[in-house]
Structure 1
Amino acid sequence: MSLSSIIGAAGSALTASQTRIAVANLNVANADDLTYTRKTVTSAVSTTTQTLSDATILRVADSFLSKTVLKTAAAAGGDAVTDTYMQSYDAALGSTASGDDVSSLMTAFATSLSALSSSPDATTKAQLVSDASSLVQGIKSLSGEVQSLRTQANTQIETTVGTINQSLKSLASLNDQIATVSAQGGDATALEDQRDAALTTLSGLMGVSSFVTADNQLRVYTTGGDALLGTTAATLSYTASSTLGAGATYPGSIAGITLNGKDITASQTTGELGALVTLRDQTLPAQQDQLDALASTLIGQVNAVTNAGSAVPAPNSLTSAGTVSATDALSATGTLRVAVTDASGKAVGVQDLDLSSYATVGDLVTALNGVSGLSASIGSDGKLTIAATNSANGVALADDGAGISARFGFNNLLTGSGASDIGVSAKLTSDPSGLPTAALSTTTTLAVGGLALASGDSTIADKLSGLLTTSVSFAATGSQAAKTTSLASYASSFVSGAATMIAAAATQSTNSTAASDAATSRLQNLTAVNIDEELANLTQYQSQYEANAQLISIAKDLFDTLVSMVS
């Protein structure tokens, strides 16, 4: 081997050692950076010149583990969001320990109903109205919290979409920087580390698939196959509604998340974005549906009983819960008994009306005005009022199944149609003594002077007492299958089902986070810097550097000697 070859080989090795020393120092300096991957140096030998070619810096990586990290990051990101929302929902549910959950409030209401049946007096009526108010307030508040969480999720969707767009722009910028540095023959590995970290962040926000092209350009797609990052970054768009109500749904009144104009909402099932969409459109609406089923059934069942009865003494007037028109079709059959009673419950006036004779509400009003001691009218507010003309008397109704009182809601205990608007009659809240507990006599012998309403009559109170334990039909809603069960049992299963769902969300988040951490650890074990190993490498590289430097020095001395011999 010639001296020039020796000097060339040693110089090349010297340069390679310098690069290795620099890279080892860089590894040590970034040992605490979890996004940094260990760098190595490779050199190729030229067979023609017998010298080392330029050193190449490479990243230690594993494509399989990297994809696993992205997949588990998406699952962990989504599950963490779900768990956070479920914890908030758990706080709103209340607890059996404090007695403020729906099931406990239903139990308290049932206890009051039982006490009313045993002794329908002023005290038990007041307690019943109080417990009914607590129950409906608990249902209504929980419904409000469900919609509040939906609104919060909806707002967070908009924020997350903005963050995703920023991540995509960052990835596009890193792609450009990597292309520029690579074209100039520079080291792009640090930029590749940043790109991998940004991709992992994006994966936690929404599920993605990705690959790197032959020219080292990252390409990213949604799980549905839509391009997020090509030669440029795509843009997602979403504008959140200010407040969501129970009737707000997607698709419908809630706008879709669009990608370059295409609605991709339905395909978002993973990552934070997917979890937020699922919470807003499925999980929380399912809870609302169950609350609505409970509330509407409770309202219907309770009011059906109270409207079949009357307070003792009977109230001076009865007013419809909703608005009516004189032209509304009546479409009723059977007999409606109307009685005007005095303070002791004796009939002052009694008349049985054949409902099949009246085609409209106006016809019924006319007939009611024909009852002695009674007046009926539809006010300017659209409410139908039936009143005793003597302020000392009262009015009571009874029918043989036509449900006239229930149709107009004259004796409603509860108001509203679902969980979001359920309430207790304002009239009964201000005066619980007006709670119907007795039933107007329907015997054919009832005449003026006869006892129409007995003060000790608990007919309606008895029916109310058994109401919450009587089986009724519920349609399938949320996680609840269609079933025939009692109101109390449905409330209990709702609470237990919600508790199970909340616990499952916490467990799932713990498990997916552990899986994500494990995948990240496995990748880091492969790619992270081992300081002891790098320090050992530094010692070796420095020795190699010194040996090659000494070789060059010896070759130079030999060359100088040869030159002096020639001259």
Structure 2
Amino acid sequence: MSLNALNTSTAGLQVTQAAIGLVSQNVANAGTAGYVKRVLNPVSTLGNSGVATGTISRTLDAVSLKQLRLETAGASYTGLSAKVQGQLDALYGTPGSSAALDGVVNSFTQSLQALTTDPTSAASRASAVSSARTVATTVAGIAQGVQDLRTGLESQLGGDVAAASALLSQIAGLNGKIAGASKSETGTADLLDQRDQAINTLSHYLDVQVSDQRDGSVTLLTASGATLVDHMAAATLAFDGRGTLSPEAQYSADPSTRGVGTVTATTPAGARIDLLATGAIRSGSIAAAVSLRDDTLVQAQRQLDDLAAGLSRALSDRPATGTAASADGLTGFDIDLTGLQAGNAVTLGVRNAAGVSRNLILMPTNGAAPDPIDPALTDDPTALVVPVDISGGPSTFAAKIGAVLGTGFTVTGTPGGAAGSVRILSDPAGLALTGASASVTVPTSATDTKTGRGQLALFVDAGARNGVFTGSFEGGSHLTGFAQRLAVNPAVTADASTLVDYADATASGDTARPQYLTDALTSRTLTFSAASGIGGVSAPRSATVVGFAQSVIDARGAASAEAQQLDEGQQIALSSAQSRFAKDSGVSVDEEMSRLIQLQTAYSANARVLTAARDMLDTLLRI
């Protein structure tokens, strides 16, 4: 019996000593990131006559760990979104300040109003030109800042994808070590900690689904089900970045037209998957950067392009609105398209027999526009866009429009009207016309300043397409990137009197043109594209140029505030998940100290049993 007691107490001392060692290890790593508390699981020997150290395991709560990774990916997404939205908002300036977007637009309109008071004042003319130049440089500067942000995100995506790919390889390597290790080895817990920490770090970049395997390894999948890690094999992530981005550089699933980088995964078998085209990445910094680069900042660019186009065409275009007409039982509209230029869209409202309404946009071209034309590049992305070749001149307008509209419509010249006036009729019982409108650019060139009326090409396109902006699609959309190319007409800069003189015999002090320009910005309602997102993306927005500029800066501020609020809420959620995980799987020094006292008591008890057994043996030997 004394020998059994001696063996049992010796084993108990060994188990207690190992448990004390684990307590020491836990306390030492209480502040180590990714460390999970260890516990010793002793087992009884044969017949419950003794004890053995058994295995060392981690007190891991899989549910709280899964939630922690989910919130980590979400916090990375909202954090980057809030940061970039704040940087974007700062580009527009403090609303109401003289240097902000709305401030410079208001100053410009005020300078035109001052010119209406004294058109003969050289100082007022110079001030108006200077204010116009400030507007152009401000809009162009903000637009360039938008592209700089996109370029920065393109660069960040390259770094994030490379880091994520390295983590996948690391996780696959740890899978191999864990699968080949004995569960009784202390080092297995360390390997599991390393792998969990690697997956947690990976969650900063993209959201992954983790599935435990029977051999101790894990499988990682994207949200769409694409396999990133399978046992000891890992996919390789790559990003084909494009360097400096321009407004024309946008994402497309078609590699031949894609102007930005995409994230691809190459499986061990050699298959390549475009993770962006398949929507495989939905959270984390990579998803946030993609969304900002391809959606948020592209929409910001479109807002600025629309504002630049509004500034230009409000001053240079005349509105053409159809008047009701009928003949031979057909109804429709007469509309004066005299002077129509490529890009001066003619919008027809149509309604079918079922009562469904839609816009039909006739897009004038000189034969070099793409066909089809993307409706998203027009004011109404839901419209049917039909190119109309007007290169033959005004006398061909009616025939060309009739040819593209086809059966069901009758198109002729307006009786008694000019060569460019047309009458468009349809059977009201079929596809009925509900409206007709156009915006016709009056100046034919930047030097055409004496148009005989108020219209003036004050703002022009200073890029490769230098000249009057008409919204043309010749060689591609002239709208895209127009904000960067916005400039004051050199002819006006060289001769500020063109702000007043609209004809060779303009009377001194004539306020007609200054008043027209002022009203065009502050009173005339224009249609701005639905793609700008101002007030929603389901329909075009009607507003004055000044009102649209104010809406743009208001929308930017609201978006930045919303992104900040979302991030604050997500950070709270992340903090809660971290606290929950730390409570369930982390090290509590107080608990470890309490455990140490218990182990000390057990150690002392086993030592006393060992001492008693030794004394009994000594006594027996002396008999």
Q: TM-score, normalised by structure 1?
A: 0.78
Identify unmatched segments of 5+ residues in structure 2. Answer: 253-257, 267-271, 319-340, 342-365, 368-389, 397-416, 421-437, 450-456, 462-468, 470-481
The change in CA–CA distance for 1:214 and 1:15 in structure 2 (over 3 A counts) is same
SS of the aligned residue for 1:210 comes to strand
Q: How far has the Cα of 1:97 moved from its partner?
A: 4.8
Q: In the alignment, does 2:569 pair up with 1:507?
A: no
Tell me whether 1:278 sits opposite 2:323 in the alignment.
Answer: no
Where in structure 2 are the equivalents of 1:142-541 lying within 5 Å?
142-182=142-182, 185-231=185-231, 232-251=233-252, 252-260=258-266, 261-266=272-277, 267=279, 268-304=281-317, 329=391, 331-332=393-394, 406-409=443-446, 410-411=448-449, 412-416=457-461, 417=469, 418-439=482-503, 452-468=505-521, 469-480=523-534, 481=536, 482-541=540-599
Between 530-539 and 110-119, the greater mean CA deviation after superposition: 530-539
For normalisation by structure 2, the TM-score amounts to: 0.72
Greater Cα shift, 275-284 or 10-19: 10-19
- State the SS of the aligned residue for 1:516: helix
Alignment of structure 1 residues 51-66 onto 2, 5 Å: 51-66=50-65
| TM-aligned CA deviation for residue 562 of structure 1 | 3.4
The Cα offsets for residues 493-533 of structure 1, whole Å up to 9 and x where unpaired, read as 11000000011111111111111011101111222222233
Q: CA deviation at 1:206?
A: 0.7
Distance 1:134 1:274, change over 3 A: same
The secondary structure found in structure 2 opposite 1:420 is helix
The residue number in structure 2 matching 1:310 is none
Q: CA deviation at 1:438?
A: 3.5
Q: Matches of 2:87 and 2:499 in 1, distance apart? A: 37
Q: Is the 8 A contact 2:78 2:570 kept in 1?
A: yes
Alpha-carbon distance change, 213 to 329 in structure 1, aligned in 2, over 3 angstroms: closer
* Percentage of identical aligned residues: 27
Equivalent-residue separation in structure 2 for 1:492 and 1:404 (angstroms): 25
CA contact (8 A) 2:242 2:259 kept: no
- The total of aligned residue pairs comes to 476
Q: Distance in 1 between matches of 2:245 and 2:561?
A: 26
Distance across 1 between alignment mates of 2:501 and 2:50: 106
Cα deviation digits, residues 333-371 of structure 1 (max 9, x gap):
69xxxxxxxxxxxxxxxxxxx9969xxxxxxxxxxxxxx
2:605 is aligned to 547
Q: Are the counterparts in 2 of residues 34 and 528 from structure 1 also a CA contact under 8 Å?
A: no
Relative contact order: is structure 1 or structure 2 higher (C-alpha 8 Å, sep ≥ 6)?
Answer: 1
Q: Does 1:132 align with 2:132?
A: yes
CA contact (8 A) 1:34 1:524 kept: no
Measure the CA separation in 1 of the matches of 2:589 and 2:220: 34
- Larger deviation: 526-535 or 228-237? 526-535
Query: What's the secondary structure of 2:60's corresponding residue?
Result: coil
Q: Residue by residue, what CA displacement relative to the aligned partner does 1:29-84 show, whole Å, maximum 9, x if unpaired?
A: 11222422221112122352522133321211211111110000000011111111
Deviations 1:190-235 (A, max 9, x none): 2222222221111111111112222221221111111111122211
| Bigger mean CA offset, 526-535 vs 77-86 | 526-535
Structure 2 letter corresponding to 1:249: Q
- The superposition leaves residues 468-506 of structure 1 with CA deviations (integer Å, 9 ceiling, x where unpaired) of 121111220242232211111111111000000011111
- Shift, 1:564, TM fit: 4.8
Q: 2:491, 2:532 → 1: CA distance?
A: 35
CA distance in 2, matches of 1:259, 1:49: 54
Does the CA-based 8 Å contact 1:94-1:101 persist in structure 2?
A: yes
Moved more, 256-265 or 541-550: 541-550
- In terms of fraction of residues, the more helix-rich structure is 1
Moved over 4 A (4+): 354-357, 401-405
Q: Give the Cα–Cα distance (whole angstroms) in 2 for the partners of residues 20 and 405 of structure 1.
A: 90
Does structure 2 retain, via aligned residues, the 8 Å contact 1:438–1:461?
Answer: no
Q: Which moved more, 1:187-196 or 1:415-424?
A: 187-196
Look up the equivalent residue of 1:204 and give its one-letter code: H
Separation (CA, whole Å) in 2 of partners of 1:220 and 1:526? 24
